[in-house]
Amino acid sequence: MDEARNYMFTIFSVLLAAVTAYSVLRTGRNFAARSQKARALRTSLIILMLGCGLSGMHLFGLQAVSGFSPDTGSLLAPLALYSLTLAFLIWLFHRTGLIMAEREHLKELAYRDSLTGLFNKNGMDHFWDHCKPNEQLAVLYLDLNRFKPINDKLGHHVGDLLLQAVGGTLQQFSCKGRRHIFRIGGDEFVIIAKRCSYKEAEQLALKVLEKTTRTYQLEHHELFVSASIGITTSQGRVDPGRLLKEADSAMYNAKQLGRGRYAVHKQGNVIQPVSWLGSPKAN
């Protein structure tokens, strides 16, 4: 019984050390960037936390050792041991935080398009891998019109600026956990919306066309650019290949019937009537 009791107090002491170390790290986060008054206040809080942590660990240690009656000299060794424990845990948590931040950074590099900041094809593969089998999805496949002539005539630098501008425009339609935007290559973008019906997808497509079909001021160039969008939705089990193929096919249909439009893919490979964004320049 005494052994179990001593073990419990030892566990409590370690847990208290862990909580103290974590609290100190949280309080000291972005310490250098804060004002002098805030740094003084946080320094006082850190000292108070360390003092309370050491005192609590010492009390648990006394309870864990039966019959222990400390004197003045005997306090130095346990307090030094508790201080080393706290220092080690602070270092361990700090190091773990750095490793996790580095992993997140590498993950961002792997899943993000460096030019637009949107998710890339790797990010899309990651999305499909974690997608529920029967989730209701709407896929919008967007392609810029006349991008290749712009890129060839004015150079890749201007083409990159245009892609960055379009990517920034599309970013506003992103909604964490609900709507994801991908650049899958060249001037092709994909929007995947969860719990989205055909009607909602069409409304979204119109909003995207209204925002992206406009004149872009790129350095000393003024370029009017439109887009074409193909829409499809999941029917039962999610099939990434089928969804992308259907949306891509609908997008090309919209492009053939006139720029600045969207087309909807329905079951049976029937392309529904195409809506047009009313701008004479879009054609």
Element (H, E) at 8: helix 2-27
Which pairing describes strands 227-233 and 261-266: parallel, antiparallel, or unpaired?
parallel
Is 148 strand, coil or helix? Answer: helix
Burial class (CB in 10 A: 0-12, 13-18, 19+), 190: buried
Strand, helix or coil at 54?
A: helix
**Cα separation, 165 vs 15, whole angstroms:** 50
In order of 26, 87, 255, the CA distances from 48 in angstroms are: 14, 15, 67
Asked whether the beta carbons of 257 and 274 are under 8 A apart, the reply is yes
187 classed as catalytic:
yes
Q: What is the distance in angstroms between the CA of the first residue and the CA of the last residue of the chain?
A: 85
- Among residues 125, 187, 239, 248, the one annotated as catalytic is 187
Specify the pairing of strand 214-218 against strand 179-185.
Answer: unpaired
DSSP conformation letters of 20-44: HHHHHHHHTTT-TTS-HHHHHHHHH
Which residues are catalytic, by number? 187
